[in-house]
Amino acid sequence: MQTLRASKCGLSTAQLPSSILDVIDALTKAGYEAYIVGGGVRDLILGLNPKDFDAVTNATPAQVKEVFGRRCRIIGRRFELAHVYAGRELIEVATFRAPPKKAVTSASGMILRDNNWGTIEQDFARRDFSINAMYYQPRKGIVLDFCHAIDDIKNKTLRLLGDPTLRFEEDPVRMLRTLRFAAKLNFSIAPEILEIFTPEMTQLLRDISPHRLYDESQKLFTMGHLNRVLPMLIDFDIWRQLFADISPDISTFIERAAINTDQRIQIGKTINPAFFYAVLLWKPFLERCNFYLSKGVVPAEARAQAGLDVLKRQATRTIIPRFAETFIREVWEMQTRLLNPKPQQIQALSTHARFRAGFDFLLLREKSGDDTTQGMGVWWDAYQQMTTDEKERAISQYNRQRAKSRRKTATEDVVETKLVAVEIEPLVNEPEPRSRRERKSRAKPERPVQSASSNRSEIGYDHPILKRKRVKRDLSQVVFGPTQ
């Protein structure tokens, strides 16, 4: 172990928010050891802006709770941690961990529970990469480096601590972390990792819960280097483990969306990770729509059912929370509405809560060479920049063109182009709560789960989707009918 001077590593307390210093100081005052560890130290040494700061201590979670009282909450079962609220920020305080006892690992060596407290040396050996295992005591101005991690930082190398095979077996998510850090930091992966990072090894990810894989996929999407990590996911055969029915091929659309996401993060704009899921799943969604259409299902129903099918299949890999599912289906449904809007509803559409995401999606499709958008991406782009008068003229002109292309009679097409508030029909119907749906599907096992990418599953004349009655609507209330 070497003790480095913090200043020599480019570290100073001036770079630290008061929240993490408060936590370190309070634990030290109570007689415990406390360090900053992980990504915060790594990123500061690299001159990057850390996402957050994590603390580690020899106090147990219960003792941390004693120090901070109501400002502290103990969380997690598999990996127990203390959450300390410092001002408006939340600091994760972990306790030094020793190797897990045999009884809490699975047959394949995966760690099921990791709450065996230990010393700092043991804690160090439990961390994933050398560069994530530097312990910084800001008040003493020192960094404890147990494995020449500082050299790996200088050489831009990602090195797992211990035997790489064992470390991946203990926690297969470390494979995803390897690619994430390699892409984020632009580090090379150490040869001993590359040697064992095989497609067979990635099969271990099958044992990871879809919830955890969703969390990890969010981190991949939002780290700011999505475009760099996507080809790596394919090269290392991780793609297949994360995405059920998306062929491992980066289309122009996916690539543009990834570049766009990274750019937004760079300039500090917010991003919704569900948007990228909507992009990834767009092709399987269209394929599934076509499948239903070819079976005679009406378009609106085909889209609704295809959306549900595709998301259900994806949930076998990464569970997608209900709010994100709804967002994705709404973005898809917006594509139909934006492509062929009724003139009198254009203004209302442009103020709809899902307009922005739907429009961004449409424009991305168009810029990626998708000519099925019929130039409507550019049309909506221009529309948003117009004055009220210009908008009315643009709608009239759109209306005339629409009438011409539909060869309708002039009388049918006279519409009021004045910009008035018009209500919009909900984009998607919320599916039933998951638990009820699960209960229902268990009661009806004869309904097969259908693959979104293949046409193998047949819809017979007696399939429930064909029997479903078309919803009878009061036509005066219908603002956006399905595009047929």
Catalytic residue IDs: 52, 54, 128
Q: Give contact residues for Mg ion (rule: CB under 5 A).
A: 39
The binder of 370, among ligand ATP, Mg ion, none, by C-beta within 5 to 8 A per type, is none
Return the closest-CA partner of residue 431 out of 338, 309, 292.
Answer: 309
Q: Which residues contact 339 (CB under 8 A, 6 or more apart)?
A: 362, 373, 374, 376, 483
Under rule CB under 6 A, residue 132 binds ligand ATP: yes
For ligand ATP, the binding residues in 14-43 under the rule CB under 6 A are 38-39
Contact characters 67-106, ligand ATP, x per CB under 6 A: ----------------------------------------
Instruction: Please say which residue, 48 or 62, places its beta carbon nearer to Mg ion.
Output: 48
Beta strand residue intervals within 78-212, DSSP E: 81-86, 89-95, 134-137, 142-145, 157-158, 188-189
Q: How far is the CB of 102 from ligand ATP (least distance, A)?
A: 19
For ligand ATP, the binding residues in 52-71 under the rule CB under 6 A are 52, 54
Among residues 27, 133, 331, 362, the one that binds ligand ATP under rule CB under 6 A: 133
Q: How far apart are CA 99 and CA 134, in angstroms?
A: 18
Distances (CA, A) of 415 to 376, 387, 474: 20, 20, 20
Instruction: Please say which residue, 160 or 246, places its beta carbon nearer to Mg ion.
Output: 160
The binder of 171, among Mg ion, ligand ATP, none, by C-beta within 5 to 8 A per type, is ligand ATP
Buried/exposed code over 120-152 (b: 16+ C-beta within 10 A; e: otherwise): beebbbbbbbbbbbbbbbbeeebbbbbbebbeb
Under rule CB under 6 A, residue 222 binds ligand ATP: no
Phi-psi domain of 476 (left: phi exceeds 0; alpha: psi -120 through 50; beta: other) = alpha
Q: How far is the CB of 43 from ligand ATP (least distance, A)?
A: 6
Classify 130 as helix, strand or coil: helix
Q: How far is the CB of 52 from Mg ion (least distance, A)?
A: 5
Q: How far is the CB of 89 from ligand ATP (least distance, A)?
A: 14
Helix axes 210-222, 226-235, angle to 10 degrees: 130
The binder of 127, among Mg ion, ligand ATP, none, by C-beta within 5 to 8 A per type, is ligand ATP
Under rule CB under 6 A, residue 114 binds ligand ATP: no
Instruction: Please say which residue, 133 or 226, places its beta carbon nearer to ligand ATP.
Output: 133
Residue 444: CB atoms within 10 Å: 8
Q: How far is the CB of 129 from ligand ATP (least distance, A)?
A: 7
> CA 47, 49, 85: angle at the middle one, nearest 5?
135
Q: How far is the CB of 174 from ligand ATP (least distance, A)?
A: 5
Say if CB 177 and CB 285 are below 8 A apart.
no
Q: How far apart are CA 312 and CA 295, in angstroms?
A: 20
Residues that bind ligand ATP (CB under 6 A): 38-39, 51-52, 54, 127-128, 132-133, 171, 173-174
